[in-house]
Amino acid sequence: MSLTGLSFDEIIRMYQQPLYWYIRRVVLIHEDAEDILQETFLKAFRRLWQLRNRDALKSWLFMIATNEIRRYYKTHREHISTETLARADVPEQESVSSDQVYRIISRALLEMTPLQREVFCLKYYDDMDYDRIARITGSSKNSLMVSYHEARKKIEKEINK
């Protein structure tokens, strides 16, 4: 039993899919997302004793995932490119009819800064409010609102091509 009142297995069962899809949407490549997810859970397991409030568990896990994504970008100097997108298979969660939408958003994600990707994915896909995203990313609410607006503009630009 942990401080959260949940076993670590229960935490993994509850958050594995939402964390995977957040990471996957930001880094685009399944194998990289799997590696980052594993690192996220390893760090969470080692630091679970630091968590004092069970209500903060989801934000805390997403914060660890965000930090791992940022570490990934620092260690993988290879810039994400259209070649990366070509290697990125359409996730099984996506239906065949959404393939085109997925590709459009993925191409737009390539044009975004890492913060724009993070805020877009957390807000659009995970339906988080700016206050929670600010806690996860360590950015100001105003900065996040601007980043989200810029991310949406990049998607609109990609749609209009």
Does the model's pTM come out above 0.85?
no
Q: What value does the mean pLDDT take over residues 133-144?
A: 95
In whole angstroms, what is the distance from residue 54 CA to residue 4 CA?
A: 5
In whole angstroms, what is the distance from residue 22 CA to residue 42 CA?
A: 17
Report the candidate in 143, 138, 130, 145 with the shortest Cα–Cα distance to residue 60. Answer: 138
* Domains observed in the chain: 8-159 (1.20.140)
Q: What value does the mean pLDDT take over residues 12-18?
A: 94
Please, which residues have CB within 8 angstroms of residue 131's CB and are 6 or more apart in sequence?
A: 141
pLDDT band for position 110 (cuts 50, 70, 90): confident
Would you say residue 1 has pLDDT above 60?
no
Q: Which residue carries 């994915």 as its tokens?
A: 121
pLDDT digits (tens, 9 = 90+) for 25-64: 888 888 999 999 999 999 999 988 777 777 788 999 999 9
Please, which residues have CB within 8 angstroms of residue 6's CB and are 6 or more apart in sequence?
A: 14, 54, 57
In whole angstroms, what is the distance from residue 137 CA to residue 63 CA?
A: 6
Would you say residue 68 has pLDDT above 70?
yes
Question: Which has the higher per-residue pLDDT, 82 or 56?
Answer: 56
